[in-house]
């Protein structure tokens, strides 16, 4: 599996303070996952997969990696893209 594209949409300060960005990523140029969150947690940034609220009020992931190695790989790439987007926003680049 290869992530072929990552797009980051930085959120403004008026948005949810913990959610810093929304990301979309494409796998092998043929499958895209939208609404991946970049969240500021107590231990730093982390990735949150798309989720929905279920009847009991809890949230359940809509899609997610099956194993830890895949999750870590995707998260590292998403967070790297986020860091680049923040740096570009600060310098005015695209």
Per DSSP, the residues of 23-91 read: EEEEETTTEEEEEEEEEEETTEEEEE--EEE-TTS-EEESS--SSHHHHHHHHHHHHHHHHHHHHHHHH
CA separation for the pair 78, 47 (Å, rounded): 7
Report residue 40's pLDDT band, with 50, 70 and 90 as the boundaries. Answer: very high
Domain 3-91: what homologous superfamily? Stage V sporulation protein G (3.30.1120.40)
Mean pLDDT over 55-59 rounds to 94
pTM: 0.87
Q: Which residue has the tokens 């009847």?
A: 55
* 15 vs 70, residue with greater confidence: 70
Mean pLDDT over 44-72 rounds to 95
CA separation for the pair 7, 67 (Å, rounded): 23
Mean pLDDT over 9-34 rounds to 89
């Amino acid at each position: 599996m290869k992530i072929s594209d990552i797009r980051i949409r930085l959120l403004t300060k008026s948005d949810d303070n913990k959610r810093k960005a929304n990301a979309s990523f494409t796998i092998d140029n043929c499958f895209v996952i939208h609404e991946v969150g970049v969240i500021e947690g107590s231990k730093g940034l982390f990735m949150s997969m798309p989720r929905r609220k279920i009847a009991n009020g809890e949230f359940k992931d809509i899609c997610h990696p099956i194993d830890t190695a895949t999750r870590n790989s995707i998260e590292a790439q998403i967070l790297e893209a986020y860091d680049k987007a923040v740096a570009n926003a600060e310098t005015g680049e695209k």
